[in-house]
Amino acid sequence: MQGRHSKSSNLHFPGPMLSFNNIRYVVNTKKAFCIQGEGREILCGVSGVMRPGMNAILGPTGSGKTSLLDVLANRKDAKGLKSGQILLNGQPVNSNFHLQSAYVVQDDILMGTLTVRENLEFSANLRLSRRKYTFEEKQEKVNKVIHELGLQDCANTKIGTEFIRGISGGERKRCSIGMELITSPSLLFLDEPTTGLDANTAGSIMQLLHGLTRQGKTIIFSIHQPRYSIYKLLDYITLMSKGDIVYQGPGAETIDYFKELGYQCEPYNNPSDFFLDVISEASCLETPNPEVVVTSQQAMDPSTEKNILTQHFQQSKYYDQINNELKSLSVPNVSKFSTQVKHSYATPFWYQLYIMCNRTMKNLCRNPQTSVVQVFMMITFGILNGLIYYQIPDTMPEALQNRIGAFFFLIINQVFGNLSAVEIFIQEKALFLHEKASGYYRTSVYFLSKILADVIPNRIVPVLAFAAVAYFMMGLKQEAASFFLFCLTLSLTSLSAVSLAFFVSASVKTFALANALIAIPYVFMMVFGGFLVNLNRMLQWLSWLKWISIFRYGLNALMINELKGQIFYNNTTKVPGEMYMIEQGIDFSTWGFWQNEVALLCIMAIFLFLALIQLIRVNK
């Protein structure tokens, strides 16, 4: 079978050349109680050259192929990169690297509620400069990519979600590639591009990539076990084992290289399977060439096979050629990793915000489950609250008892009714990380678009519907100003609870963990809100907790708004509403009321700021 690989060892195609020298990447393990342990070396000082054409990185699981791909694409956290140098056409990469290159992730990360065309237009609008491209030119670019990738039949079909049936797996992969081809990158990275695809679809994807290399693109991808028809398309192969490179050279010469070492690939064995077997020291392999000398130190080392393969490669003509090439390209006086650069964005802040808000609103309208359920839930709770406390009388003791109980129930609804907010960043975290690393938009733009698109339809509108139903059913103060302040208090209470949920959502990775974490502060705030426990009788060392309670500020504001100036009757005795607030130590002056509103506003602002910081801190 190996004789049918028809590629020449002298391959010459137009396109950029990416070289890397002495790349060391270390992952710090964690011990108990988040104590940082010793670092584990993932890439052991690897060097090489990725030339124009199809460059495949192969190796068994855990060999470091994806880590190498991510490092070359500038997708790894700088903390783990201990040394190395990456050059593009002999020059250090700069802030325009993400404009010259593109990265397609293993799992197709697309906005499922948008069509193929709308996803491509989103990429074009944010990644093509408004100064260089008009709207018509961007549309022409999108149409060209759709035609090149054969997406005409599904261009106006939604990608698909768990609720919406969408396009096929192969079409999703083509759309993911198209999102990156919008910028006409000369360098394209792909992580396991055939994962999850059937053999025919995987073959067509690789044929597509092969055709792109003949148009002047350098394509670098990791792949696990490609079938023979895909293997024949590989211009250059990099084989890895445990963080080391054991071969890098033309794909057509790989089998002959291992044959010289004494490893014979059987006629009907898939070469990629054969390489993995050799690297993994599979028992089915034939005995290596007896002329290979193994030192006593290597013989005692359980990783001898890896050392032998690495040493053989470092003594080969391929390594000498690469080493000479790297010496001629290397930039002196670079001891640390040199590719960590800040993004330069193709579009300005306000234009990014406009495009992001437009996409977020489309996603919300086409996936209305959350917003519709939120409004329905709030109206239902408003009716329930109104029925339980229907037309509260002015006679004691019902007048005070029912009003205070109703207010506590209202605050609980506003706080715990916003638990859905904890998934706002978790649900799209993979999409955000990919687009952030690719330079689509600033983190602040993504954050503001989610806040603006979520707050108005999902938080403000449902609260207003809730307030309109509950207020008049309960028969509270029939004054326009009181109703307005009632709505304002409930809105600020809701937004304060939502901001805390946003902070938790931006800080964790799973919905289950977020739910557990958000429940703890909500319960503490409820206990120290002033309804379940008299705050004046509380232990001194616990009393400070009342100052961070959303429940306390919301409950106090509602009581001041309703009870101030009210007269209740106990038989024939008039009881002013202020009497209860005096007993509770509540400042019912005008300034006292607005103190609670300002406190809720500050809590909201603080947690929103912390949520933004958490998103900025997210590592690649």
Taking alpha carbons only, the member of 512, 586, 8 closest to residue 250 is 8
Q: How far is CA 564 from CA 367, 492, 527, in A?
A: 44, 20, 25
* Percent of the residues in the chain that have a pLDDT greater than 90, as a whole number: 20
Tell me, yes or no, whether 267 lies in a domain. Answer: yes
Taking only the tens place, the pLDDT of each residue in 180-214 is: 889 888 899 998 888 878 888 888 888 888 888 88
Cα torsion for 485, 491, 493, 494, to the nearest 10°?
Answer: 160
pLDDT at 536: 59
Q: Same domain for 235 and 216?
A: yes
At 54 the three-state DSSP class reads: strand
Tell me, yes or no, whether 12 lies in a domain. Answer: no
Q: Same domain for 334 and 365?
A: no
Q: Same domain for 117 and 86?
A: no
Taking only the tens place, the pLDDT of each residue in 44-96 is: 888 899 989 999 999 888 888 888 998 888 888 777 777 788 888 888 877 67
Confidence label for 33 from pLDDT (cuts 50, 70 and 90): very low
Tell me, yes or no, whether 358 lies in a domain. Answer: yes
**Burial label, 316 (beta-carbon count in 10 A; 0-12, 13-18, 19+):** middle
Taking alpha carbons only, the member of 190, 237, 181 closest to residue 73 is 190
* Percent of the residues in the chain that have a pLDDT greater than 70, as a whole number: 86
> For residue 544, what are the contacts with CB-CB under 8 A and spacing of at least 6?
none
pLDDT at 544: 65
Q: Same domain for 149 and 205?
A: no
Q: At what angle do helices 443-455 and 349-366 cross, to 10 degrees?
A: 40
Give this prediction's pTM: 0.81
- In this model, does residue 37 exceed pLDDT 70? no
Tell me, yes or no, whether 51 lies in a domain. Answer: yes
Taking alpha carbons only, the member of 347, 381, 420 closest to residue 129 is 347
Q: Same domain for 548 and 483?
A: yes
- In this model, does residue 595 exceed pLDDT 90? yes
Confidence label for 126 from pLDDT (cuts 50, 70 and 90): very high
Distance, CA of 266 to CA of 304 (rounded, Å): 24
pLDDT at 32: 43
Whether omega for the bond prior to residue 267 falls within 30 degrees of 0, making it cis, is: no
Q: Which domain holds residue 174?
A: 112-185
Taking only the tens place, the pLDDT of each residue in 423-448 is: 888 888 888 988 888 888 999 999 99
Q: What is the mean pLDDT of residues 307-333?
A: 79
Taking alpha carbons only, the member of 334, 186, 245, 274 closest to residue 67 is 245
Token look-up 């609870």 returns: 497
Q: Same domain for 495 and 545?
A: yes
pLDDT at 305: 43
Do 345 and 439 touch, CB atoms closer than 8 A? Answer: yes
Q: What is the mean pLDDT of residues 330-340?
A: 50
Distance, CA of 530 to CA of 301 (rounded, Å): 68
Q: What is the mean pLDDT of residues 152-161?
A: 89
- In this model, does residue 340 exceed pLDDT 90? no
pLDDT at 261: 83
pLDDT at 594: 93
Taking alpha carbons only, the member of 50, 36, 114, 59 closest to residue 88 is 50
Q: Same domain for 229 and 90?
A: yes
Most confident range (mean pLDDT) of 80-84, 185-189, 512-516, 543-547 is 185-189
Query: pLDDT higher for 282 or 405?
Result: 405
Confidence label for 619 from pLDDT (cuts 50, 70 and 90): low
Least confident of 18-32, 243-257, 347-361: 18-32
Count the neighbouring beta carbons within 10 Å of the beta carbon of residue 431. Answer: 16
- In this model, does residue 342 exceed pLDDT 50? yes
Distance, CA of 577 to CA of 358 (rounded, Å): 48
Q: Same domain for 521 and 485?
A: yes
Tell me, yes or no, whether 304 lies in a domain. Answer: yes
Paired with 20 in beta bridges are: 48, 86
Query: pLDDT higher for 354 or 9?
Result: 354
Choose the final residue of a domain: 305, 324, 343.
Answer: 343
Average pLDDT of the residues of the chain: 82
Do 56 and 238 touch, CB atoms closer than 8 A? Answer: yes
Distance, CA of 251 to CA of 220 (rounded, Å): 14
pLDDT at 485: 93
Specify the amino acid at residue 195: T
- In this model, does residue 620 exceed pLDDT 60? no
Tell me, yes or no, whether 59 lies in a domain. Answer: yes
Q: Same domain for 135 and 202?
A: no
* Phi (first) and psi of residue 41, to 5 degrees: -80, 120
Distance, CA of 521 to CA of 500 (rounded, Å): 9
Whether omega for the bond prior to residue 397 falls within 30 degrees of 0, making it cis, is: yes
Q: Output the six-digit token pair for 4.
A: 């049918």
The dihedral of CA 361, 364, 368, 371: what is its sign? negative
Tell me, yes or no, whether 1 lies in a domain. Answer: no
Q: Same domain for 80 and 132?
A: no
Q: Same domain for 73 and 148?
A: no
- In this model, does residue 490 exceed pLDDT 60? yes
Tell me, yes or no, whether 243 lies in a domain. Answer: yes
- In this model, does residue 127 exceed pLDDT 80? yes
CATH number at residue 226: 3.40.50.300
Taking alpha carbons only, the member of 148, 205, 193, 103 closest to residue 438 is 103
Choose the final residue of a domain: 301, 327, 343.
Answer: 343
pLDDT at 447: 93
- In this model, does residue 588 exceed pLDDT 50? yes
Cα torsion for 530, 534, 540, 546, to the nearest 10°?
Answer: 0
Most confident range (mean pLDDT) of 184-188, 316-320, 451-455, 483-487 is 483-487
Confidence label for 532 from pLDDT (cuts 50, 70 and 90): low
Choose the final residue of a domain: 317, 343, 369.
Answer: 343
Q: Output the six-digit token pair for 156.
A: 């106006």
Q: State how many domains the chain has.
A: 3
Taking only the tens place, the pLDDT of each residue in 369-403 is: 666 777 788 888 889 888 988 988 888 888 888 88
pLDDT at 203: 87
- In this model, does residue 574 exceed pLDDT 70? yes
pLDDT at 604: 93
Q: Output the six-digit token pair for 549.
A: 């309670």
pLDDT at 157: 92
Distance, CA of 278 to CA of 306 (rounded, Å): 10
- In this model, does residue 301 exceed pLDDT 50? no
Confidence label for 283 from pLDDT (cuts 50, 70 and 90): very low
In this structure, the strands spanning 218-222 and 187-191 are parallel
Return the ∠ at Cα 489 (arms to 485 and 493), rounded to 5°: 170
Q: Same domain for 566 and 587?
A: yes
Alpha helices (H) along 547-589:
550-563, 578-584
| Residue 439 Rama label (left phi>0; alpha psi -120 to 50; beta) | left
Q: What is the mean pLDDT of residues 93-106?
A: 80
Least confident of 122-131, 280-289, 441-450: 280-289
